[in-house]
Structure 1
Amino acid sequence: MRIDSHQHFWKYDPIKEYWITPEMSVIQKDFLPQDLKPLLQENNIEGCIAVQADQSENETHFLLQLANEYDFIKGVVGWVDFKKPDIEERLDYFSSFEKLKGFRHIFPAEADIDFMLRKDFCNGIQKLATFNFTYDIIVNPNQWPFVMEFINQFPEQRFVIDHLAKPDFKQPDFELWEKMIRSVAQNPNIFCKVSGLVTEAHWNNWKINDFKYALEVVIDAFGIERLMFGSDWPVCLVAGSYSEVHAVATHYFSTFSAEEQKKFWGENALRFYNL
């Protein structure tokens, strides 16, 4: 099964989706499963993982409802407040939803760049393994220094790095990013999503080869067994179509063996998210 491991849905609200700036006007509207389904079919993708884009339990329930209505949504990465004292009760509650596979917090939205190291937050993350939940890590470059300290606290927790940890393809100086990626990849419990590439490039002037070096690094660091495809739809539409994003990965991984391609396009996501 071919899986898109990273995409979003929302009913657009300018308050809730405050992060969608005027230059991103192309995504200032609703994006729902009926919009994504034909794109998946056109690109031979059989299922997807819906990832939270809002920091609320309402968002988690919204995505779970969509997953209940549309079978091609194979899993949900939701949100819960890990800082709350009742986090174990909330995780126990959410464990009753079969399609809820893990959680994420949007670290770049926090004023404190080391938010992920907060004691109360980490106390909540510690509870994830009890319920076999995964955790998606999204960070900006200024948060890279804290990633290793964060993940080293939880050697048994399954983590996945979203969007290759956002290297800057507009000014490709990959030295610090590469050092961080290679350090993180030494932990066998850490996976990485080949997603969100075009949004970190020049939106109107990127080329497929812009991403070659970074992809070579993550292949060498993680191996094919811990990488998975993600479109980051509809956010990717600010810089290209779904098919264009799909083509970036198709082009790069076309020289890999059929078995390796099966892992990247689906088997790794199936294994990581327990689909």
Structure 2
Amino acid sequence: MIDTHVHFWNFDPVRDSWINEDMFAIRNDFSPKDLTAVYQDLQITGCIAVQASQSEEENHFLLSLAEQNEIVKGIVGWVDLLDPNLDERLTYWSNFEKIKGWRHVLQAENTDFILNKKFIAGINLLKKYSYTYDLLCYHNQLADIIKMVDQIPDQPFVLDHCGKPDVKSQDLKSWAANIKLLASNPNVSCKVSGLLAEADWKNWTEKELFNCFDEVFEHFGPERVMYGSDWPVMLISRPYQDWFNLVAKYTERFSAEERKLIFSDNAKVFYGV
């Protein structure tokens, strides 16, 4: 089994200012070794390490962890997609086999950035190097994301954290409509990850989360959904096993072959691991 979404960091209160005082559980260092025991317990054999800092130094940091830890099967790094020398940068990074794709924190950007022609051209260049692209956004940005991905045919995309629906309020109507639209693009997949951070951290219910799963699986289907934990961020709410068991319980309704797609094969194909 592959966990398609984990982060590693040596906590820096300035650089990692998004980890506020309320998130005290993750104001620490996190490395692959911290996952060894839980992965062995759950029979998870590897993970995709996703950038948590927007710098090329982050890529080298994750590459060094991958060299030292067999569980890191692939990396989603960061590169400046607006860089006039982007082709040159991608040529450089293509020397590192563990880097499978890229991500920018679009949830911190506005419409003008997401639909910037130079930004879209930057993503369009990724196909030349067979790179994937992770979409990180809030539910109220999905309309812009749809417009953006529709301009980049044949680029493999994956939506992180189900597009961050408002789990807490359960106001899901607009989000669900946009999930349906986004899923109509065959080049987009979706990670079942990160929903605990969008819920009431200590008081969410299984039904609130399953309502979101219902929409994702109805429109993307098990053929385009991947399991991810969003560890260690999800520790603000529950231990790792609780999230894994929740996804495992929901997916009991699928066949063994479909569960294998969700927990393993879709990730292997998408990220080439």
What's the TM-score, normalizing by structure 2? 0.98
In the alignment, structure 1 residue 214 sits paired with structure 2 residue 208:
no
Which residue is equivalent to 1:52? 51
SS of 2:101's equivalent in the other structure is strand
Letter in 2 for 1:101: K
Inter-partner Cα distance in structure 2 for 1:95 and 1:79: 13
- Partner residue in 2 for 1:246: 244
Question: Given the alignment, which residue of 177, 180, 188 partners 1:179?
Answer: 177
2:84 is aligned to: 85
Q: CA separation in 2, counterparts of 1:37 and 1:18?
A: 27
Q: Which residue pairs with 2:94 in the alignment? A: 95
Could you say what secondary structure the match of 2:75 adopts? strand
Q: CA deviation at 1:44?
A: 1.4
Contact 1:113 1:142 in 2 (8 A): no
What SS does the corresponding residue of 1:254 show, helix, strand or coil? helix
Letter in 1 for 2:99: L
Q: Corresponding residue for 1:132?
A: 130
State the match for 2:108 in structure 1. 109
Cα shift at 1:109: 2.3
Show CA shifts across 1:178-217 (max 9, x none).
1110000011110000000111111011122221121111
The residue number in structure 1 matching 2:141 is 143
Aligned to 2:60: 61
1:191–1:226 contact (8 Å) kept in structure 2:
yes
For residue 17 of structure 2, what is the amino acid of its counterpart? Y
Amino acid at match of 1:15: V
- What SS does structure 1 have at the residue aligned with 2:219? helix
Specify the SS of the correspondent of 2:231: coil
Structure 1 match to 2:256: 258
Pair 1:129–1:141, CA change in 2 (3 A): same
Structure 1 Cα separation of the partners of residues 251 and 149 of structure 2 = 28
Q: Percent identity?
A: 46
C-alpha offsets along residues 138-190 of structure 1, whole Å, 9 cap, x if unaligned? 00123122011100011110000000000011100111001110000011110
Whether the 8 Å contact between 1:114 and 1:143 is mirrored in structure 2 is no
Verify the 8 A CA contact 1:117 1:150 in the aligned structure 2.
yes
> What whole-Å deviation, never above 9, does each CA across 1:68-88 have from its counterpart, x for those lacking one?
111110000000000010001
CA distance in 2, matches of 1:40, 1:114: 41
User: How far apart in 2 are the matches of 1:78 and 1:54?
Assistant: 9
1:134 and 1:273 in contact (8 A); partners too:
yes
User: Quick one: which amino acid aligns to residue 213 of structure 1?
Assistant: N
> Which AA in structure 2 matches 1:59?
E
Which one-letter code corresponds to 2:13 in the other structure?
Answer: P
Q: Which amino acid aligns with 1:195?
A: S
Moved over 6 A (4+): none
Q: Which residue of 2 aligns with 1:31?
A: 30
Shift in Å, 1:113: 4.1
Specify the alignment match of 1:122 in structure 2.
120
Distance in 1 (CA, whole Å) between partners of 2:242 and 2:88 is: 42
Q: Distance in 1 between matches of 2:55 and 2:94?
A: 17
Instruction: Tell me the amino acid that sits aligned with residue 4 of structure 1.
Output: D
Q: In structure 2, how many angstroms separate the alpha carbons of the residues matched to 1:126 and 1:102? A: 13
Q: Distance in 1 between matches of 2:144 and 2:111?
A: 8
TM-score where L is the length of structure 1: 0.97
Cα deviation, 1:28-82, whole Å, max 9, x if unaligned, reads 0100111112121122111000000100000011111111111110000000000
